[in-house]
Amino acid sequence: MTTTVLTPSTPATSQPDAVVGRTRRPQPRIPLTRIIGVELRKMFNTRSGFWLMASLVITNVLATAAIIVFAPDDQLTFDNFAAAIGAPMTVILPMIGILAVTSEWSQRSGLTTFTLVPHRGRVLRAKFLAATTVGVVSMFVALVVGVLGTLLGSAVAGVDPVWNVSAAHFALIVLGSVLGMLFGFMLGLVIRNSAGAIVTYFVYTLVLPPLLGLLAANQRWFADVQPWVDYSYAQRPLFEGTLTSQQWQHLAASGVLWFLLPMAVGLFVVRRAEVK
Amino acid sequence: MLDMITVESLTKKYGRGMTAVDDVSFTAATGRVTGFLGPNGAGKSTTMRIIVGLTPATSGTVMVDGRRFTDLPNPGTEVGVLLDASAQHAGRTGREILTLAQRTMGLPRSRVQEMLDLVSLTSHEADRRVRDYSLGMRQRLGIGTALLGDPDVLILDEPANGLDPAGIRWMRDLLRGFADQGGTVLLSSHLLHEIEVVADDLVVIGNGRIVAQGTKSDLLAAAGTIVRARDAAALAQAMESAGLTFSGHADGSVRTEASPDRVGEIALAAHVVLTELRAAEGAGLEEMFLELTADTQREGAAA
């Protein structure tokens, strides 16, 4: 080989010694609460993020108005308001969960995020907690809208308001909605691409259940195991308000399969993957 | 003068036998601007991503001020990083992007406006969304983010890209001032003239390997000789038997580390007619850089 090779010479040491390194005060580690605060802010501070959040409230109000206008008087009960409000929530919350993770990759802001906090596990933990907070708070916003809707609806119709959702039932609905949101979060983590994760979410919620239902209807063996392995099937009782201990077990088993395992794989991959 | 950034035997391999960074070692010292030069795809960005922990290395170590980057408790206040000015959420305003960094680092809110002033982004510009920014404005914002935490070290990947001449001048003065105050700057570029003006030390990389490093003055002095002969083959033979290392070029010229004196003697002894013989000194970094990187790019074919 005849290529020129300049021998690496170490930088000359004959530099002016007037250069003095600045003294560095010891720094505390960035607390998790601060990262959570930043991650919460990130969910609101883009136009799309803001409108996604706003759409939670807007759809709540629209759903409530629709019930008041279209439902017969005897249907102006709190559970109907809750159901109407809950439907858009179960779509929008998972989107928020997905985008909380994927935007760092799709928008490439992760380059800054993971340089300022070079521990991806901590950032993702903060995102997880921030998303959960948004999920729970938005459910209470929905509760308030539902209560106002019930009061207003019954007042307009001249009937007594019907409060037929217990606190325990509401807690289960919150749990179901947050689980849906965290499922989106998991998809975001595993797929790390906004469009891909959203499409996958809709395949999972819209395409998969009828297929599994068909399978269960035609194959006895699957009908028996479906509650154990079908996560969305196992979540349904949450919205109905009561779960038997076996249904809790169904939820736990299918949750491990569809949520915890992929989440663990996603975390494992993300902590080692390149951020470009 | 302390070695602030120490890169040791860094290697990054991808699948299919692709080696992006191949046994790279260098240091960046306090009070100095270290220029990291190389053509696109040479491994500059990969090396910088490894330094800040965004890409895991296959082997080798990187220390910043004696610690791994991931062990820094609040990295933004010690190391300012700008790897890609366009890697920002397009829907956020410039001010908001600075605010997120300011909050993450736990700095006073006033730092955001200070940085906007420093990088000359007007209030109107700061409140626009980044998707409407020119590349030059994004670079300014990126520099502002890097400087926000008042760090001792700056790691900047191609920061001059998209800046206008006045902006480039501004950046050069800023980096010079930063280093003169005891800061450490690691700056990558393929804009050779920019690096030549501002850097004290140079690390030249091609095909993932370091092809030259040292102080700028050393490297310029080591530029050697350019020689051209009517009978190129005879010249090559004569230099080879004299034991010189050299590299041939498509235009017929030959470059060697030996002095013009020595090359002239060899040619005379071999009765080779020279049509050109001159010191490559002062030919500028660009020529050296282009040749060095051209060599590694043609490696295998030329040898």
Cα distance between residue A122 and residue A32, in whole Å: 7
Q: Give pLDDT, residue A15.
A: 39
pLDDT tens per residue, range A179-204 = 999 999 999 999 999 999 999 999 99
Q: Which of A111-115, A235-239, B192-196, B204-208 has the lowest mean pLDDT?
A: B192-196
Cα distance between residue A253 and residue A231, in whole Å: 8
| Percent of chain B clearing pLDDT 90 (strictly above) | 59
For residue B89, what are its two tokens? 């959420």
Q: Give pLDDT, residue A2.
A: 42
Secondary structure string (H, E, C) spanning chain A: CCCCCCCCCCCCCCCCCCCCCCCCCCCCCCCHHHHHHHHHHHHHCCHHHHHHHHHHHHHHHHHHHHHHHHCCHHHCEHHHHHHHHHHHHHHHHHHHHHHHHHHHHHCCCHHHHHHHCCCHHHHHHHHHHHHHHHHHHHHHHHHHHHHHHHHHHHHHHCCCCECCCCHHHHHHHHHHHHHHHHHHHHHHHHHCCHHHHHHHHHHHHHHHHHHHHHHHHHCHHHHHHHHHHCHHHHHHHHHHCCCCHHHHHHHHHHHHHHHHHHHHHHHHHHHHCCCC
Average pLDDT value for chain B: 88
Q: How far is CA A87 from the centre of its chain?
A: 15
Using the beta-carbon criterion (under 8 Å), do A109 and B89 form an inter-chain contact? yes
Using the beta-carbon criterion (under 8 Å), do A115 and B295 form an inter-chain contact? no
* Per-residue confidence band for B193, with pLDDT thresholds at 50, 70 and 90: confident
CA distance B80 to chain A (A): 9
Residue count of chain B, please give it.
303
Averaging pLDDT over each range in A180-184, B12-16, B243-247, which range is the top one? A180-184
The amino acid sitting at A131 is A
Burial status of residue A213 (CB atoms within 10 A of its CB: 0-12, 13-18, 19 or more) = middle
Residue A8 has pLDDT above 80, yes or no: no
Please tell me which residue of chain B has the smallest CA distance to A120: B54
Burial status of residue A195 (CB atoms within 10 A of its CB: 0-12, 13-18, 19 or more) = exposed
Using the beta-carbon criterion (under 8 Å), do B257 and A17 form an inter-chain contact? no
Cα distance between residue B184 and residue B5, in whole Å: 8
Q: Which residues of B touch A112 (CB under 8 A)?
A: 81, 87-88, 97, 100-101, 145
According to CATH, the topology of domain B3-213 is Rossmann fold (3.40.50)
Q: Which CATH class is domain B224-280?
A: alpha beta
CA distances from B86 to B122, B139, B156, B244 (A): 19, 8, 13, 47
Cα distance between residue B130 and residue B94, in whole Å: 6
A12: closest CA among B67, B183, B222, B189? B222
Where exactly are the structural domains of chain B?
A: 3-213, 224-280
B22-40: buried (b, 16+ CB within 10 Å) or exposed (e) per residue? bebebbbbbbbbbbbbbbe
pLDDT tens per residue, range B129-172 = 999 999 999 999 999 999 999 999 999 999 988 899 999 999 99
The predicted complex's ipTM stands at 0.84
* Per-residue confidence band for B112, with pLDDT thresholds at 50, 70 and 90: very high
CA distance B170 to chain A (A): 22
Q: Give pLDDT, residue A254.
A: 94
Residue in B56, B99, B210 closest to A8 by CB: B210
Q: Which residues of B touch A9 (CB under 8 A)?
A: 213-215, 218, 222
To which residue do tokens 């090396």 refer? B47
Using the beta-carbon criterion (under 8 Å), do A15 and B104 form an inter-chain contact? no
For residue B133, what are its two tokens? 């920014």
Average of per-residue pLDDT across B82-111: 95
Phi, psi of B10 (to 5 degrees): -75, 130
Where exactly are the structural domains of chain A?
A: 32-198
Q: Give pLDDT, residue A3.
A: 43
Average of per-residue pLDDT across B205-221: 83
Using the beta-carbon criterion (under 8 Å), do B299 and A3 form an inter-chain contact? yes
For residue A22, what are its two tokens? 């600045």
Residue A227 has pLDDT above 50, yes or no: yes
Averaging pLDDT over each range in A74-88, A151-165, B139-153, which range is the top one? B139-153
Contacts of residue B82, Cβ cutoff 8 Å, sequence gap at least 6: B139, B142, B143, B145, B146, B154, B155, B156, B157, B159
